[in-house]
Amino acid sequence: MKRRRFLQVAGAAGAGLAAGCSSGSTDRLLPYVTPPEDIVPGIPTFYASTCRECPAGCGIHVKTREARAIKVEGNPAHPVSRGRLCARGQASLQGLYDPDRIRGPFRHTARGLEPVTWDAAIAQLAEALGAAAASGPDRVALVTGADSGALDGFYDEWLRAFRSTRRLRYETFAYEPLREASRLAFGVASVPEFDFASARYLLSFGADFLETWISPVQYTREFAEAHGFRDGGMARFVAVEPRRGLTAFNADEWIAPRPGTEGLLALALAASVVRQGRAHLVGAEADRVRGFLGRFGTQSVAEATGVDEAVVDRLAREFTAAQPSLAVGGGVAHQHRAATQTAVAVHLLNYVAGNVGRTVRFQTGRALDKLSRYSDATALVTAMAGGKVDVALVHDANPAFTLPRAAGFADAFRKVGLKVAFASHFDETAALCDLILPDHTPLEQWGALETVAGTRSFVQPAMTPVFDTRQTADVLAAVAQKAGKRVAAGAASARDLVAKGLAPAALEQTLQHGGQFGPAQQRSVYLVSDFARMAYQPPAFDGDAAGPVLVVYPSASLFDGRGANKGWLQELPDVATKIAWQSWIEVHPDTARALGLGTGDVVTVTSPHGSVEAPVHVYPGVRRDVVAMPIGQGHREYGRTAKGRGVNPLDLLGADATDASGALAFCSTHVKIQKTGRSVQLASTEGSARQLGRGVARAVSLAAARQGEVEEGPEATITDAERTAIAAAAASQRQRAYIGEYAKPQPKWEMTVDLSRCTGCSACMTACYAENNIPVVGEEQTVRHRGMAWIRLERYFEGDTSGTDWQVRQIPMLCQQCENAPCEPVCPVYASYHTPDGLNGQVYNRCVGTRYCANNCPYKVRYFNWWDYGTVGDPYFAFSEPLNWQLNPDVTVRTKGVMEKCTFCIQRIRFAQNDAKVRGRELVDGEITPACVQTCPADAFVFGDAHDPDSRVSRSKADARGYNVFDMLNARPGITYLERVIRGEGA
C-alpha cells in the first residue's frame, strides 16, 4: 500500500510540474510539504520492470526524475537483456507519453464516440458477458498478445468463468513452423533456446535474429560474443536468404537461394555432411537419417535453389569442422508454404552436426510455445462471421491491422454483439469496438511474466498513470465481480495476482531486482521420425510466375506496426535501407533497369489478392527475382504519426496462404510491378552508399588480422618525416595552448568502437534521442537531411554489388571530440570550444548560428535547429503534451537557430563526477557511460578516461585494429574505431 500512496503523491506533484512545464507559468510549481521518501529532487530513481514491446521480455530499468519516467534502460541483472535494450524497448516511453493515447473510457454509439464512466462501462460489459455466458458455451472471445505468468492464467480462468475457451494469444509472428518442426523432429512443440554465444560457426536461414526474431537483444549480445574478433579468433557467419537485411549485413558470406528453397538447401547440407562422413550419428538412427537425406541429391537441390554444389559441400564441411556450430531458421525462410519443412530441415542439419543439446536446447515452458497460430486466428474469424461470438475482447493486439485484409477480420468482427478494446490507441481494431476501455501502458502496469524458462520477470508501474486508464486485468476482475463470478480467489487487481504468494518484504525485494531468475530446466530430446512423412519440395506461389516474388518482412523499428505512432521509431532510419517515415519496395538494380525504374519512382504492386502503391528503392540486397516490402506502415487508424502513412504489404497476401503448421505465409505470392509515372523523394539519410576508399568504415580479413595487418586509409600517404614534423608542431602548440584551467591534471574522455561487434542495430540512436531531448523532425525535414540524430549509423557497400559477393560496412558516427577540432576555432563567439577534459563543448545559449562550425566539421556531426522545435505553440514544436514529460531535466531543450551536437552525454559525466565528489570517492573506470554506450546490445563501445593508462578505453585504443577516421586531417579525434574483421571461406 505504501508504494501506491507514494505513487499518488508523486503523480500529483508530477502533474503540477507538468502544468508548469507546458504552460510556462510557475504558479503551479509547489514544493513538497512532506517529501516522499523515494524522491530526491535532482536525483533519479530507477524502477526495475520488464519490456512489453515484443514477446522477448527484456528486463528494464525505468529512470524517473521527480516521479516522471524519463528514460528506459536495460536491467543488468536480467538474464535476457543483461542491461541492454533495443530501439523499440527504449521507445516504450513514447508509448507512455503518446499524445494520441486514449485518455479515458469511451463508448461507440450511433451518435459516434462518447465518454463513459468506468462504472457504467463495467456494468455494461458485465451484463453482456452474463447474457453471453447464459446463452451457451464459447460465446465470449478474448484476444490478448503474447502473455504469460500470473495474468495469463487469470485471463483463462476469467474466460472459463464465462463458459468460454475462446482465448487467442495473438502475435503477428508466432513461430508456428519452428514449434511444429520441433514436434515433428523431436516430439516437443517448442521454440528451442539457441546458444549463439558459444557457436563457432553460424548458419542462418533467413532468421533476422539481430532485428526482430525471438529475442533480438539477447541474440545481438550473444552474436557479438561469438562473431566479434577477440584474441585472434571469431565465429564465421553465413547468411542464407533471398533478401539481405541487417542480420545478413553482418554475415561473412551471403548466399541467396531462390525464395522458398532454403529448406532444400539445408537438407542438401545435411546430406552432404552425412556423405562426407562428418555426421554425429550412430546406429539405426544414422541409417534412418541417411536414408531420408539420400532423397536430396546435391545436384537436384542445386537446380532448385540456384546454389552451386561446390558451395553446398564447402558449407557442409565448414559447418561441421567448427565445433560447436549453429544453424537457425526463421524470417522469410519460415514464412512460405514450405516453412515447416524448412524448419525441420534446419533441425536435422543441427542434429547431424551434433548441435542439438549443445547450441540448440529445448526447455520447458517458454511463453512463445503457448502462442496461438495464425490458423487459430482465422478460426476465430470464421466463428465470429458465423455469429458464434457475442462478446469479443481485444487486449494488447491489433488483428484488424496485422491480419491480411483478405482474412476478413473486420467484417467478421463487426458481427460480434459487443466488441471491447483494451487499447491505448484508437487503432484499427479499437476503431471497430463498441466499448473502449483504455489499458495502462506497460510502464504503468503490474505483471509477472514467464517468457523464458526459469525466469519470472516482473512488471511494475514506474509512475502514476498519465491518463484515466485502468489495467485490463483490474477491469476484468471488476467485471467478474459485477457479474457475480469469483475468479482467481477473488483477486481484485493485477497487483494482487502478481503479489500472490509473496510476502511484502519478498515482493519489495523481487521488484527491486526485477524478478526471480533461476536456471532454465533443460529437456533432452531425441529424433522422432514424424518429419519423414512430409513432402519436401519448393513451395507454391500465387500469381503470375513472370513477376518477382514478394518478400514481406517485419520492420526492425516498427515491428508488426505497433511502433508506427512513435516518433523515435518513425525517424529511426530503417537499419538496412536507411529510409525513415515511409513505405518502399526494394528492387534489384538490374530488375529496376529492366523495368525502367529509379529510386523514388512510385509503382503499383499488384498481387492476386490486392494492390498497393509504393516508391521504389533500388537495392542490391535482393535477388533479381525478388522484391521486398517492410511491414509496419499503412495504418488507417492509430494516431497522428502513423495514420495514413505508407502502405501495408499484408494487403497483398492471401488469407489461406498457410503452411503445414498453420502459419501465415508472408512470402507466398508473385507480384506485378507497374510504373505510375509519379515519383517521390525518399526520406533516406544516405548521401552516398559508397565510401570510395576514404577509409571511413574499415574491415580486414581474419587471416590478415591474425598477422596484425589492417586496412589502411588515405592517411597512409603521410610519410614518417611528416608525422614527426606534425607531432613537433603539435607539441609546441600544445604548450602555448594548455594554460590556466587546461594546465591542471584533467581526464580526457575518449571512446572506442569495435566494428567487429557493432551490428548496426541503431539502438544507440534512440538512446541518444531519449537522453538528449533530440526533437523528431518529421518526414519532410528528413527528406531534406535535417534529421537531428547526434549519432547515426552509416552503411556503406563494398565490392561489386551485382552479385552476392559484397560486404557491408557499418559505422556509428558521432562527434569525434577532436583534440584539434576544426569546428572550434571558426566560431566567432566561443560557443564551440574545448573543455579541459577534452570534449568539444557547445554552449547553446551562446551560439548565434553562423553554422561555420558545421561547415568545417569533416565528420558532419553537428546539427542545426532550423525550426523552433523547443517552443510551445510553434508549428514545429516537437514535444507536444504529454511528450514533454519525457524530457531529460538535465539537458537543455535547444532553441531555434542554434547548433547542437554530441558531448559524450556530458550531463552523465558531470553527474557521476559530482556523485563521486559528494561521497568523497574515486570515479571507477566504466562507471560513466554515455547513453549510446549504456544501451549497446553488442557492447561495441568502450568509454573512459584516456589519461588513465589502465582504463579499458586506453587498452582498447592500443588494439592493432584501431584507427581514426580521416586521420590525415590531424584533427586527432577522441574516438578510435577498431576495424571490422571478416572471416572468409575456410579460415
Footprint (CB under 8 A) of another protein, residues 834-863: 834, 846-852, 854-856, 858-860, 863
Identify residues 362-421 at the interface with another protein (CB under 8 A): none
Closest to 558 (Cα-Cα) out of 572, 543, 544: 572
Helix (H, G, I), strand (E, B) or coil at 432: helix
Closer to another protein by CB, 577 or 865: give it. Answer: 865
Please tell me what DSSP assigns to residue 43.
B
Identify residues 580-599 at the interface with another protein (CB under 8 A): none
Closer to another protein by CB, 746 or 804: give it. Answer: 746
Q: Which of 198, 820, 892, 913 binds another protein (CB under 8 A)?
A: 820
Closest to 301 (Cα-Cα) out of 311, 286, 314, 287: 311
Identify residues 58-117 at the interface with another protein (CB under 8 A): none
Determine, following the binding rule CB under 8 A, whether residue 33 of this chain makes contact with another protein: no
Region of 44-52, 217-225, 633-641, 782-790 interacting with another protein (CB under 8 A): 782-790
Determine, following the binding rule CB under 8 A, whether residue 809 of this chain makes contact with another protein: no
Region of 157-165, 568-576, 690-698, 945-953 interacting with another protein (CB under 8 A): 690-698
Identify residues 913-952 at the interface with another protein (CB under 8 A): none
Determine, following the binding rule CB under 8 A, whether residue 824 of this chain makes contact with another protein: yes
Region of 172-180, 194-202, 629-637, 784-792 interacting with another protein (CB under 8 A): 784-792
Q: How far is the CB of 846 from another protein (least distance, A)?
A: 7
Q: How far is the CB of 766 from another protein (least distance, A)?
A: 19
Report the distance separating Cα 608 and Cα 652, nearest Å: 7
Q: How far is the CB of 779 from another protein (least distance, A)?
A: 14
Q: Which of 819, 881, 925, 948 binds another protein (CB under 8 A)?
A: 819
Output the CA torsion sign for 341, 346, 347, 353.
positive
Determine, following the binding rule CB under 8 A, whether residue 566 of this chain makes contact with another protein: no
Closer to another protein by CB, 2 or 860: give it. Answer: 860
Report the distance separating Cα 120 and Cα 118, nearest Å: 5
Stretch (H or E) spanning 546: none
Closest to 757 (Cα-Cα) out of 228, 246, 251: 228
Region of 420-428, 686-694, 752-760, 917-925 interacting with another protein (CB under 8 A): 686-694
Closer to another protein by CB, 149 or 695: give it. Answer: 695
Angle of the 176-186 helix axis to the 339-352 helix axis, nearest 10: 50
CA-to-CA separations, 477 to 147, 438, 472, 594, in angstroms, rounded: 17, 15, 8, 61
Closest to 191 (Cα-Cα) out of 358, 371, 366: 366
Closest to 270 (Cα-Cα) out of 334, 315, 333: 315
Q: How far is the CB of 227 from another protein (least distance, A)?
A: 24
Backbone angles phi, psi at 104, to 5 degrees: -175, 175
Report the distance separating Cα 658 and Cα 334, nearest Å: 11
Peptide bond before residue 324 is cis, with ω within 30 degrees of 0: yes
Determine, following the binding rule CB under 8 A, whether residue 249 of this chain makes contact with another protein: no
Q: How far is the CB of 737 from another protein (least distance, A)?
A: 5
Determine, following the binding rule CB under 8 A, whether residue 611 of this chain makes contact with another protein: no
Region of 228-236, 254-262, 373-381, 820-828 interacting with another protein (CB under 8 A): 820-828
Identify residues 712-771 at the interface with another protein (CB under 8 A): 714, 717, 730, 733-734, 736-742
Determine, following the binding rule CB under 8 A, whether residue 877 of this chain makes contact with another protein: no
Q: How far is the CB of 746 from another protein (least distance, A)?
A: 12
Q: Which of 380, 400, 682, 827 binds another protein (CB under 8 A)?
A: 827
Q: How far is the CB of 118 from another protein (least distance, A)?
A: 44
Which residues contact residue 242 at a Cβ distance below 8 angstroms, ignoring those fewer than 6 apart? 256, 257, 258, 259, 332, 549, 551, 622, 623, 626
- Relative to beta strand 106-109, strand 112-115 is antiparallel
Closer to another protein by CB, 644 or 714: give it. Answer: 714
Report the distance separating Cα 734 and Cα 41, nearest Å: 41
Q: How far is the CB of 973 from another protein (least distance, A)?
A: 12
Specify the long-range contacts of residues 14-20, CB closer than 8 Å, at least 24 apart: 14/66, 14/67, 14/68, 14/463, 14/464, 14/885, 17/66, 17/68, 18/68, 18/881, 18/882, 18/884, 18/885
Region of 28-36, 548-556, 624-632, 786-794 interacting with another protein (CB under 8 A): 786-794
Closer to another protein by CB, 78 or 862: give it. Answer: 862
Closer to another protein by CB, 623 or 809: give it. Answer: 809
Identify residues 299-338 at the interface with another protein (CB under 8 A): none
Report the distance separating Cα 889 and Cα 907, nearest Å: 10
Please tell me what DSSP assigns to residue 979.
P
Determine, following the binding rule CB under 8 A, whether residue 781 of this chain makes contact with another protein: yes
Closer to another protein by CB, 22 or 850: give it. Answer: 850
Closer to another protein by CB, 77 or 968: give it. Answer: 968
CB 772 within 8 A of CB 904: no
Concatenated DSSP letters of 267-313: HHHHHHHHHTT-----HHHHHHHHHHHTT--HHHHHHHH---HHHHH
Report the distance separating Cα 206 and Cα 258, nearest Å: 12
Determine, following the binding rule CB under 8 A, whether residue 873 of this chain makes contact with another protein: no
Determine, following the binding rule CB under 8 A, whether residue 794 of this chain makes contact with another protein: yes
Q: Which of 36, 153, 897, 962 binds another protein (CB under 8 A)?
A: 897
Number of residues counted as binding another protein (CB under 8 A): 74
Q: For cell 527528406, name the residue.
A: 783
Region of 38-46, 184-192, 198-206, 868-876 interacting with another protein (CB under 8 A): 868-876
Give the cell for residue 862: 553537428
Q: Which of 691, 807, 880, 913 binds another protein (CB under 8 A)?
A: 691
Q: Which of 205, 223, 559, 796 binds another protein (CB under 8 A)?
A: 796
Give the number of other Cβ atoms within 10 Å of residue 727's Cβ: 10
Q: If you count them, how many residues does the chain have?
A: 987
Q: How far is the CB of 578 from another protein (least distance, A)?
A: 9
The residue ranges of DSSP E strands in 290-417, in sequence order, are 325-329, 360-363, 391-395
CA-to-CA separations, 470 to 93, 444, 480, 892, in angstroms, rounded: 18, 9, 15, 34
Q: How far is the CB of 794 from another protein (least distance, A)?
A: 4
Helix, strand, coil shares of the chain as percentages rounded to 5? 35, 20, 50
Q: How far is the CB of 787 from another protein (least distance, A)?
A: 9
Identify residues 438-477 at the interface with another protein (CB under 8 A): none
Q: Which of 451, 606, 685, 752 binds another protein (CB under 8 A)?
A: 685
Q: How far is the CB of 820 from another protein (least distance, A)?
A: 4
Determine, following the binding rule CB under 8 A, whether residue 807 of this chain makes contact with another protein: no
CB 10 within 8 A of CB 67: yes
Identify residues 625-684 at the interface with another protein (CB under 8 A): none
